[in-house]
Amino acid sequence: MAQVAAFSPYSEGVPRQFQEFQGSLGPQSFEHIPFALRSWRGTFIGPLDNGGFQQSGRAGQSEHWRIIPVQGRPGNYFIRSWKNKFLCGDNNGNIQQRDVPKEWEEWTIAHRGNGKFNFRSVAFGTYLTVDHASIKLTANNKEAEQFEFVVDSTCAIFA
């Protein structure tokens, strides 16, 4: 069973209603709650109306996600945005939004320690990452490919 330590102090630039879990958590800890993904840069990933993605310094409603277990495939998840679109990778390292989750929308989520997680595309074996200009997939599995789940109790209505 996962151990949950006390909530960490609020970080600068993160609204007070956000709380960050620390300790030994697995992705199953976040299956039923909305969350934002904070990158190593301190930015949050959010979908755009044009199908692209943005990095934001604050986690508003548009930066919230849900993970949905893939039936019959333990450890695999779909990642659904607040726009009801699914995070998808492709073989060129791009990420996209899809209306219907299929194989390319499946991810594994691994706890890397210190409350950090990585997201690996099941279809391509590559990892979600951010740099200064983009959000994409990479073969690397380093600090830049690690994210924190940030929970916002005010977005509990996002189902």
Q: What is the mean pLDDT of residues 39-50?
A: 94
pLDDT at position 34 over 60: yes
Tokens 């969350």 map to which residue? 35
- Characterize the bridge pairing of strands 64-69 and 135-138: unpaired
Q: Enumerate domains of the chain plus CATH numbers.
A: 41-155 (2.80.10.50)
Percent of the chain with pLDDT over 90: 61
Answer whether 117's CB lies under 8 Å from 111's CB.
yes
pLDDT of residue 20: 45
- Characterize the bridge pairing of strands 86-89 and 95-98: antiparallel
Spatial distance between the Cα atoms of 15 and 25, rounded to a whole number of angstroms: 22
pLDDT at position 77 over 60: yes
Answer whether 78's CB lies under 8 Å from 106's CB.
yes
pLDDT at position 69 over 80: yes
pLDDT of residue 21: 41
List the structure tokens of 31. Answer: 């299956």
Question: pLDDT by residue (tens digit) across 127-137?
Answer: 999 998 899 99
List the structure tokens of 137. Answer: 């997939």
